[in-house]
Amino acid sequence: MRLEDIAEAGRQIASVVAKGRRAVEEDRLLQFALERLLEIIGEALSKMSDEFRDSHSSVEWPKVIGMRNLLAHAYHRIEVDLVWLAAAEDTPDLLSAIGLIQES
């Protein structure tokens, strides 16, 4: 189920990213949406067993989970650039890896 949650959050991230960086920079609600969706992905990944993570080492688990921790606990240090890069560049790669895991 958690993989499905990740995939769904990823689809929602893609729909926000499709609006463009400028739209995200100008709309705080879109920023909040991306932040929350990235948190959901990180939280879901953090609940995966060590065995699961070890067997799928192509995913940078600590990086994704670390982003979730930053978003949840250091909200005052969040920059739009960081959120945009995670959403627009890192999330598609993560979703590709998750898709391969789901297929296996």
Q: What value does the CA radius of gyration of the chain take, rounded to a whole number of Å?
A: 13
* Whether residue 102 has pLDDT greater than 80: no
Residue pLDDT, tens place only, 72-91: 999 888 999 999 999 999 99
Active site residue 68: yes
CA distance 50 to 34: 27
User: Of these residues, 21, 22, 28, 68, which one is catalytic?
Assistant: 68
Of 39-43, 64-68, 73-77, which one has max mean pLDDT?
39-43
Active site residue 73: yes
Confidence category of residue 54, pLDDT binned at 50, 70, 90: confident
Q: In the chain, what are the helix, strand and coil shares in percent, each to the nearest 5?
A: 85, 0, 15
Quote the tokens at residue 44.
């879901």
Where in the chain are the domains? 2-103
User: Of these residues, 2, 53, 73, 77, which one is catalytic?
Assistant: 73
CA distance 12 to 73: 23
The enclosing H or E element of 70 equals helix 61-73
Quote the tokens at residue 40.
């959901």
Q: Percent of the chain having pLDDT more than 70? A: 95
Average pLDDT (56-79) is 88
CA distances for 1 relative to 5, 7, 26, 47, 67, angstroms: 6, 10, 34, 11, 21
Of 38-42, 58-62, 74-78, which one has max mean pLDDT?
38-42
